[in-house]
Amino acid sequence: KAGVTQTPRYLIKTRGQQVTLSCSPISGHRSVSWYQQTPGQGLQFLFEYFSETQRNKGNFPGRFSGRQFSNSRSEMNVSTLELGDSALYLCASSLLMGQGGYNEQFFGPGTRLTVL
């Protein structure tokens, strides 16, 4: 069974540009979550999608957005990039949307975004 895949793996952009990252969950998984990892802030929850609907959102500005398609694949978009957006962006998939308790999330390898 294929794991979570993320494309691209590495990306270099300049300030002011926008970027789109892609995540394909494990087959059969309907929930996709996105996380940002930086040395300063650590791992932070961005948002979660389930059945093409955003169900939960972390404390990030509106420049960060996402969507989920009918095949559960998800994309996240960051507009007007800032230097502080440089980070490892991790995608995680799970069978069901988390409702507290056990809901194992399988992570992809991440996309490393560098903003110059």
Which residue type occupies 71?
N
Among 92, 93, 113, 115, binds other proteins (CB under 8 A): 92
In the complex with other proteins, the residue whose CB is nearer, 14 or 32, is 32
Site string for other proteins, 71-90 (x = CB under 8 A): -----------------x-x
Minimum distance from residue 16 beta carbon to other proteins (Å): 26
Angle at 54 between CA 60 and CA 61, to 5 degrees: 15
What contacts 14, CB < 8 A, 6 or more positions away?
81, 115, 116
Q: Is 67 in the site for other proteins (CB under 8 A)?
A: no
What contacts 26, CB < 8 A, 6 or more positions away?
1, 2, 3, 4, 93, 106
Which residue type occupies 22?
S
Q: Is 42 in the site for other proteins (CB under 8 A)?
A: yes
Q: Which of 12, 7, 36 is nearest to 113 (CA)?
A: 12
Q: Is 95 in the site for other proteins (CB under 8 A)?
A: no
Among 46, 76, 87, 113, binds other proteins (CB under 8 A): 46
Structure tokens at 107: 């992570």
Binding positions for other proteins, rule: CB under 8 A: 33, 35, 42-48, 55-56, 58, 88, 90, 92, 97-110, 112
